[in-house]
Amino acid sequence: MKVTNLCKTYATKTGEKVHALKNVSFDLPSSGMVVILGKSGCGKSTLLNILGGLDRFDSGDVECFGKSLMSLSRKELDNYRNFFVGFVFQEYHLIPELDVAENIALPLQLQGETDTEEKVKSALQQVGMVGFDKRKVEELSGGQKQRVAIARALVKDPKIILADEPTGALDSHSGENILKILKWISQEKLVVLVTHDREFAEQYGDRIIELADGVVMSDSDRSYQETDTEEKAKLQKSRLPIKTAFKIGRSNFQHHRNRLTWTILLSVIAFSLLALSLSVAFLNPAHVFCREIIRSDMELTAIYKLHWYRPENVVDQSLDRFLGDDGRYNEDVPMTMEDVEFLKSLTGNSYSLVYTDLVFSFQDYIAASLNQQNEARRQNPEICYANCADGYIAMTEEECEKLGLTVIGELPKNAGEVAINECLFNIFAIKGLIEGGTIFELSSYEDIIGHKIPVHPGRIISNGPYYSSDPSRIKTITGVVITGCSRKCFNEHYAPEDRSTSQNWETYHEKIFVCEDYFDEYTYALCAIPQDRTELKEMVNFILGYEENNLSYTFVNKLSDGFYDSLEAASLLKMLFIYLSVIFLFFAMLLLSNYIFSSMQRQTKQIGILSALGAGFGDLCKVYGSAIVALCSMIAAITLVLQVLTTGWFNNYLQSITRYLRFSLVRLNLPASLLLIGVIAAVAAAGCLIPLIHIRKFNPTAIINKGQIK
């Protein structure tokens, strides 16, 4: 080992320059005890750290085993420490999480050796500590600790042992013991001992190099041995086994257990909410619909065609609830053969066209609709199906007479005409009738005859913004049928609190009266539900996604009301949950990374010791990464379990706030789960890597003396 013109300058925090070493040069033999002697602050430690590859220098060079330390990269310097240098520190720097044998085995493990037992035993023997292998570090005296530290330096059979005031913290008896051991080692290896104690130096040193203010004052050069037998160095990569890495790293989490518990708890809550938010955000409506259709065993579904339009005269604000998200209304429009052909070409399904089922001949009608209504009310008492314009009825004058209904004006005679019921008239009478943007006041039944109103097949008609723009839907009013239901009577029967008592209500009170040939158009297409899952998905995707020229298609079946209803809820929730996701994500990341970061900070010294022993960046990542990965895996696992519960709870909640939803809308889905795991992994990686990268900017001794790291 050859040191030439070594210079090292430190910059202090105040900006002052300290010349710790000035042009230091000497040769070192391959064995023997070389003592570097000098007063405190003269540069001894600086010199030793440079020789051991723990610190960089400004100029000059250190040549050993055919390599110049100046030219080594950071990685190579790690490996140099790992394979060639055994360091003994004044404060021992053992790792408290590991027992004696494990501390000693550490450098071997860093070298990638797995079978360490024999070597550890022999190292313990050399320092006179046989039988102490399972002891904990805290249970040892200072002298014993230092002997373990020497064994740790010895075990990897390094070329040189560097000892920086190894007796500084010991009583004189233990100190002498240590020096004797080092002296004995120096028969075979080069031992460089730093001390300020001249007596020790003269007693044990084969050669004394005296430093003062960074300059070599004297060099005894006693019993100097030539160094020409030096072999060339081969630098190998260090490899720490995961098991040891985990053992050191997990100690991170053994302190401050309360804080750890809180962190896990809060992180799990935050991540669970994140998971739920992601499940909602990644909700695939087509997927949900298909799943429910398959589960329902439905064989047929109706497809209606919808026309979307913007109302021109918005008079009645209460009808705003019919407005879609985009400020448009929709109305059913007739299905044609062209629609059928189009649907067929796209979805490969066959369709049949159907007339609306809301036209009944009189006799069948009353019985059927009464049953229907009773059944509907029984299933869903909070919903009132009836209103003053729900469905159509074709009645003759004789039939009206038989029921005691009076017709003011006439019953309709062709498809362009309708007669309205008394209730509907009363509503128009209160609100006024809008026709072509003008509001007409009505004072008697006769006043409404000849006016035009929009009529939707199978749907309500209304005197407001829900106003058809399709001219074929505009019908002329020919008369008013007095059903014996006044406005007051209507309110009595349909007021929310009285709904349950209106069971015997004869439903012609709410019908639009039309003639037999009123419907000459198909209302919807009926098609078989594909048995093949992918075909069904394609069809559902198409129907849900299609809109052209303000025309779209929609499913009408026993699931569709709930489905579209919940879609609306879901699309609102989706936005909300995307924002919530970001907030929870931020919160969870902050919480977890803060914990990881601060626990890493507590471990700064350990990182320094491991670096000093030659652990590379990869090893350090293993040490801290393995524990963090374990922590994060635990959080991820609990979160995924909780996800099942929160999803269940959320589905119940959704069902309670939506009217028709009868199925679970939100499902655990793969993208959400993967993203969640990804986020946790990213937090783990960042929490581990950022502090490590920061710390690695400093040399190992600086890291050990923590104070120097901001």
Q: Which of ligand ADP, Mg ion, none does residue 12 bind to, with CB < 5 to 8 Å depending on kind?
A: ligand ADP
Give the DSSP letter string of 650-695: HHHHHHHHSSS--S------HHHHHHHHHHHHHHHHHHHHHHHHHH
* Degrees to nearest 5, angle at CA 598 with 592 and 604: 135
Nearer to ligand ADP, 211 or 384 (CB): 211
Stretch of 43-51, 142-150, 455-463, 493-501 lying at the interface with Mg ion (CB under 5 A): 43-51
- At 509, which amino acid appears? H
Nearer to ligand ADP, 281 or 703 (CB): 703
Q: Which of Mg ion, ligand ADP, none does residue 5 bind to, with CB < 5 to 8 Å depending on kind?
A: none
Nearer to ligand ADP, 62 or 570 (CB): 62
State the nearest-atom distance from the C-beta of 175 to ligand ADP, in Å. Answer: 17
Nearer to ligand ADP, 214 or 249 (CB): 214
Q: Which of ligand ADP, Mg ion, none does residue 43 bind to, with CB < 5 to 8 Å depending on kind?
A: ligand ADP
CA atoms within 13 A on the CB side of 647: 22
CA dihedral in degrees (276, 279, 283, 287; nearest 10)?
-120
Distance CA 576, CA 579 (A): 5
Write down the H helix ranges in 95-197.
Answer: 100-110, 117-126, 142-154, 172-185
Write down the H helix ranges in 215-351.
Answer: 242-250, 257-281, 285-296, 337-347
Q: Which of Mg ion, ligand ADP, none does residue 42 bind to, with CB < 5 to 8 Å depending on kind?
A: ligand ADP
Q: Which of Mg ion, ligand ADP, none does residue 20 bind to, with CB < 5 to 8 Å depending on kind?
A: ligand ADP
State the nearest-atom distance from the C-beta of 39 to ligand ADP, in Å. Answer: 7
State the nearest-atom distance from the C-beta of 42 to Mg ion, in Å. Answer: 9
Nearer to ligand ADP, 20 or 358 (CB): 20
Q: Which of ligand ADP, Mg ion, none does residue 29 bind to, with CB < 5 to 8 Å depending on kind?
A: none
Q: Which of Mg ion, ligand ADP, none does residue 38 bind to, with CB < 5 to 8 Å depending on kind?
A: ligand ADP
Ramachandran category for residue 556: left, alpha or beta (phi over 0 → left; psi -120 to 50 → alpha) = beta
Q: What residues line the site for ligand ADP (CB under 6 A)?
A: 10, 12, 18, 20, 38, 40-46, 708
- At 570, which amino acid appears? A
Nearer to ligand ADP, 45 or 581 (CB): 45
State the nearest-atom distance from the C-beta of 44 to Mg ion, in Å. Answer: 5
Which residue is it, tokens 């019993």? 223
Q: Indicate whether 45 belongs to the interface with Mg ion (CB under 5 A).
A: yes
State the nearest-atom distance from the C-beta of 698 to ligand ADP, in Å. Answer: 9
- At 350, which amino acid appears? S
Nearer to ligand ADP, 10 or 542 (CB): 10
Residues that contact Mg ion, how many (by CB under 5 A): 1
State the nearest-atom distance from the C-beta of 176 to ligand ADP, in Å. Answer: 21
Specify whether the CB–CB gap between 146 and 170 falls below 8 A.
Answer: yes
Nearer to ligand ADP, 18 or 644 (CB): 18
State the nearest-atom distance from the C-beta of 214 to ligand ADP, in Å. Answer: 7
Residue 185 forms beta bridges with which residues?
none
Distance CA 69, CA 76 (A): 9
Nearer to ligand ADP, 17 or 321 (CB): 17
Nearer to ligand ADP, 626 or 701 (CB): 701
- What 3-state DSSP class applies to 530? coil
- In this structure, the number of other CB atoms found within 10 A of the CB of residue 648 comes to 13
For the packed helices 617-657 and 257-281, what is the interaxial angle rounded to 10 degrees?
50
Specify whether the CB–CB gap between 47 and 211 falls below 8 A.
Answer: yes
Specify whether the CB–CB gap between 424 and 351 falls below 8 A.
Answer: no
Closest CA to 242 of 112, 133, 155: 112
- At 341, which amino acid appears? E
Distance CA 679, CA 683 (A): 6
Distance CA 344, CA 259 (A): 63
Distance CA 87, CA 608 (A): 13
Where b means 16+ CB within 10 Å and e means fewer, 300-333 reads ebbbbbebeeebeeeebeebeeebeeeeebbbbb
Where b means 16+ CB within 10 Å and e means fewer, 134-144 reads eeebeebebbb
Stretch of 39-47, 238-246, 251-259, 440-448 lying at the interface with Mg ion (CB under 5 A): 39-47
Query: Do the bridges between strand 67-68 and strand 59-64 make them parallel or antiparallel, or are there none, so unpaired?
Result: antiparallel
State the nearest-atom distance from the C-beta of 701 to ligand ADP, in Å. Answer: 8
Rg, the chain, Cα only: 44
Stretch of 41-49, 225-233, 309-317, 382-390 lying at the interface with Mg ion (CB under 5 A): 41-49
State the nearest-atom distance from the C-beta of 207 to ligand ADP, in Å. Answer: 18
State the nearest-atom distance from the C-beta of 703 to Mg ion, in Å. Answer: 16
Query: Do the bridges between strand 32-37 and strand 417-421 make them parallel or antiparallel, or are there none, so unpaired?
Result: unpaired
State the nearest-atom distance from the C-beta of 8 to ligand ADP, in Å. Answer: 8
Q: Which of ligand ADP, Mg ion, none does residue 475 bind to, with CB < 5 to 8 Å depending on kind?
A: none
State the nearest-atom distance from the C-beta of 46 to ligand ADP, in Å. Answer: 3
Site for Mg ion, residues 432 to 471, rule: CB under 5 A: none
Query: Do the bridges between strand 522-528 and strand 547-548 make them parallel or antiparallel, or are there none, so unpaired?
Result: unpaired
- In this structure, the number of other CB atoms found within 10 A of the CB of residue 448 comes to 22
Q: Which of ligand ADP, Mg ion, none does residue 307 bind to, with CB < 5 to 8 Å depending on kind?
A: none
Nearer to Mg ion, 252 or 701 (CB): 701
State the nearest-atom distance from the C-beta of 47 to ligand ADP, in Å. Answer: 7
Residue 439 forms beta bridges with which residues?
434
Q: Which of ligand ADP, Mg ion, none does residue 511 bind to, with CB < 5 to 8 Å depending on kind?
A: none
Nearer to Mg ion, 41 or 458 (CB): 41
Nearer to Mg ion, 72 or 194 (CB): 194
Specify whether the CB–CB gap between 182 and 193 falls below 8 A.
Answer: yes
Nearer to ligand ADP, 90 or 550 (CB): 90
Q: Which of Mg ion, ligand ADP, none does residue 342 bind to, with CB < 5 to 8 Å depending on kind?
A: none
Nearer to Mg ion, 45 or 639 (CB): 45
Nearer to ligand ADP, 56 or 537 (CB): 56
State the nearest-atom distance from the C-beta of 696 to ligand ADP, in Å. Answer: 16
Contact pattern for Mg ion over residues 606 through 625, marking x by CB under 5 A: --------------------
Q: Which of ligand ADP, Mg ion, none does residue 163 bind to, with CB < 5 to 8 Å depending on kind?
A: none
Q: Which of Mg ion, ligand ADP, none does residue 251 bind to, with CB < 5 to 8 Å depending on kind?
A: none
* Degrees to nearest 5, angle at CA 494 with 491 and 497: 100
Specify whether the CB–CB gap between 704 and 609 falls below 8 A.
Answer: yes
Site for Mg ion, residues 288 to 317, rule: CB under 5 A: none
Q: Which of Mg ion, ligand ADP, none does residue 18 bind to, with CB < 5 to 8 Å depending on kind?
A: ligand ADP
End-to-end CA distance of the chain: 35
Site residues for Mg ion per CB under 5 A: 45
